[in-house]
Structure 1
Amino acid sequence: MAKRPKILVLFDVGEPTGLNVDYTEDLKSPTWKTERHVLNALRSLGYPFSVLGVHDNTALIREMISRFQPDVVFNMVEQFANSLSNETHVTSYLELQGVPITGCGSIGIALAKNKIISKKIASFHGIRVPRFMVHEPGKIISMDAELEFPLMVKPVHEEASYGISLKSIVHDPQELLSRVCYVHEKFQQEALVEEYIDGREIYVGVIGNDRLQCLPPREMTFGRNVPRESRFASYHVKWDESYRDRWGIKNRFPSSLEKKVEHRLNKTSKELYRALNLKGYARMDFRLTSNGEPVFIEANPNPMLAKDEDFALSARKAGIDYPKLISKIISLAA
């Protein structure tokens, strides 16, 4: 039997840390489920591994690599010094260490996580995106003649739907002005204003480097009492379990999706994956119109890997059980 490669698992932590820290108690927490699931999979597969919590000290990363001499770095670091905007930088640093890392590289992360650039790239490749405009802080707020209400207003650089709520949908110039000013003041960044796309919320996982595989799509569904205009992935919709229960919001496999529509989703997802220079694994988020047209909303490099979340559930439906998924991600490290 071939010798298993040595894996150094990196994940972010919220405070300064050190080498050889015991995370046994932390891993029992529900908020650490992804780390727990990945480590359990590595253990079951027989990979020799070590772990390092990353906060704000790159020297610890270099020292750990020097000590452990890993063959692969399993990268789950999403922020550095408690800032999500540093994910690209810490990934770049890992790439300089000369050890293959799992997941998307720094270029793909930078392109995908910039909502403006990713939409421009998608549009260049003939993929439909919502019509949009960007309002910068300190400049006069005006309305593009091509945009029609209702519109959605969101911060450009936030993630996980942070800054998106029911109030993000605006219906007239006064509401638009108010929400753009809110984004400027609250987040100190540009406000992305885009047309609201009426449709279904669809997610497509993609795995691979050169040869790509699309996983079965997932759909966010809403209870019948939720107004159509409120059926989108706001922060509460994504992360507040009591809110989801109250409004009958679930993530599931679509019950009715024509083969030709699924084929179009997969084709578009692969085109986006390549155009955005993504590697390893990622997820594409779409609004699917009533006539079956996918409208690209955003790409998520290195999506959540917990075994009970969308990406792993889609992999399982495709015949890739959780340990096999983790092993495949390791094999794609570059």
Structure 2
Amino acid sequence: MRIPIHLSQALHAAWQRKGALSALLWPFSLPVIGAVAYKHRRYAQRPELVYHSRLPLVVVGNIFVGGTGKTPVVIALVQALQERGWRPGVISRGYGAKVGQHARSGQGVLSAAEFGDEPALIARSTLVPIAVHPSRVLALKKLQKSYPGINVVIADDGLQHLALGRDIEIVVQDARGTGNGRVLPAGPLREPDSRLESVDFLITNLQSGQIAPRPFATLAHQLSMRLVPERVVQLSTGLTLDWPAWLAQYGNKPVAAVAAIGQPERFFAMLRAAGLSLEQTIGLPDHDAYERSPFSALASEHIVITSKDAVKCEQFQDARLWVVHASPKFSDPDWLDLAEQMLRVIADKKAKMAAVGARH
């Protein structure tokens, strides 16, 4: 069940403070806190329940419900590792796709209906192998079996999937930080914010003009990022222009924007900050399947959409659709080098352990 976008926005606004609604819902959060604590304790006491890959594995996730910007971080990390000689593979839940009993894998141009919109976007953006299943362990096993040449795995989401062993944890949040600091339903958190004390990287996704929340008390490497448009592609023809060229040619004409992401307003704000005046905007629920065109009601000469939505909109053959490809600009770009150095140490350690095991 997907919450209507206006209700989702109202909830997130309420979750930013410990008001009357949060106080009313607080008793219902106590069982959630207890269940999370029991789950962590169970996996800590029974390590045989955790599946560890022979390869280094990085989880990119969050503790805040809704979109915080994980997918751009996953893509940036995959591309950075490719540039440094790694052969990554990605696993994901495949949200929105009916995967079935067995995990599904693929590479290149994948169907959003079969893999989910975010895995399809990652596959097209990076050309790395992808495997999807609600059980990340099954997805991991499928990925390793289907693509034995990979040497590092990135899990898109899955921070709370404790059956999946991981070597590095990256949490992505936005300017809301941890909101009112309470777990569902009294607050926006999937688990208590003390979880951030044990992660390796904490990345805050900010819009133009936003100030980062107060640094969290954690040993994690903390930094911020901002998404900026880099190139625009006409969906029906593949015509590609860099952002300044597209803005100069089309920015003075009526332009609308449509987004079906966790925080549509973040996409619209990025465009405005980059110099584009928007005649109209439409925010749709995250992972909307686009079963019907939302574009027919728009009279604008040009319509810009996200790259995540583009993998579901080719069917409409609407020449007005332009896909904005954005990339993150990190306050500390060196974090990618640090992550890669950590992975090399982990890979060496796992290789030595495997060699010892093989001799016995």
Is TM (by shorter chain) over 0.5?
Answer: no
TM-score normalised to structure 2 length: 0.30
TM (normalized to structure 1)? 0.32
